[in-house]
């Protein structure tokens, strides 16, 4: 992540309730007292990519969350609470995203939430990344994302076919209806672009 990207994210983390409420829904996904979740500023392959940031307040000074080292060097109890809050809010956001996926696609994709401080996930960038589905290794996040996009499309088309099967067994399916469902199958992967 570049410095300018981090600066942009810091701006969201610094926003007050009132300022956050003015953000368009294409930017702000959700917020709590302690965290803010925004859509990825530079999304590449799918519409379910979010960043959950700890909000900078008088209780959480900016220099304490400059990076993981500064957080851990801060008051231990407070730092612990920050980490716990991020984990709790990430769980809430994860459930919201899961519901959204089921509504839109009829299946749920495993969810990874990347959080600040950046140093927490930066070491990940130096190690090989593994596809959760087929165990293939990838040297960079863009390569993994590209691969996951294909996995997603396969999953979406499988879900659409299952839906089609359920339709044709539950009622007397006419050829016309089948043709319509096939169109759905073809359209499904494009919706996530
Ligand atoms: Zn895979």
User: Is the Cβ–Cβ distance between 45 and 142 less than 8 Å?
Assistant: no
Residue 186 has a pLDDT of: 46
Distance CA 146, CA 142 (A): 6
Residue 116 has a CB neighbour count (10 Å cut-off) of 24
Q: How many angstroms does the Cα of residue 182 sit away from the middle of ligand 1? A: 25
Short-list 85, 140, 139, CA closest to 115: 85
Residues in the chain: 193
Paired with 130 in beta bridges are 137
Residue 39 has a CB neighbour count (10 Å cut-off) of 17
Q: What is the CA radius of gyration of the chain?
A: 20
Q: How many angstroms does the Cα of residue 145 sit away from the middle of ligand 1? A: 10
The verdict on pTM exceeding 0.75 is no
Q: How many angstroms does the Cα of residue 134 sit away from the middle of ligand 1? A: 4
User: Is the Cβ–Cβ distance between 93 and 52 less than 8 Å?
Assistant: yes
User: Mean pLDDT score of the chain, rounded to an integer?
Assistant: 71
List, for the chain, all residue ranges whose pLDDT scores fall below the cut of 70.
1-6, 41-48, 64-76, 110-129, 141, 167-193
Q: How many angstroms does the Cα of residue 96 sit away from the middle of ligand 1? A: 25
Residue 18 makes CB contacts below 8 A (sequence gap 6+) with none
Please give the domain boundaries of the chain with CATH numbers for all domains.
3-121 (3.30.428), 137-192 (no CATH)
């Amino acid at each position: 992540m570049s410095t300018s990207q981090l600066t942009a994210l810091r701006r969201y983390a610094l926003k007050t309730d009132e300022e956050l409420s003015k953000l368009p829904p294409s930017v702000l996904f959700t917020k709590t007292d302690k965290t803010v979740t925004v859509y990825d500023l530079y999304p590449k392959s799918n519409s379910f990519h979010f960043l959950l940031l700890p909000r900078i307040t008088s209780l959480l000074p900016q220099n304490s969350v400059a990076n993981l080292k500064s957080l851990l060097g801060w008051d231990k109890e407070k730092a612990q609470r920050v980490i716990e809050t991020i984990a709790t809010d990430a769980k809430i956001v994860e459930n919201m995203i899961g519901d959204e996926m089921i509504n839109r696609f009829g299946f749920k994709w495993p969810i990874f939430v990347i959080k600040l401080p950046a140093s927490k996930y930066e070491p990940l960038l130096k190690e090989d990344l593994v596809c959760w589905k087929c165990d293939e290794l990838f040297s960079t996040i863009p390569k993994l994302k590209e691969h996951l996009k294909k996995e997603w499309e396969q999953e979406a088309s499988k879900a659409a076919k299952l839906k089609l099967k359920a339709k044709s067994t539950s009622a007397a399916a006419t050829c016309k209806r089948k043709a319509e469902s096939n169109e759905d199958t073809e359209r499904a992967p494009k919706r996530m672009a």
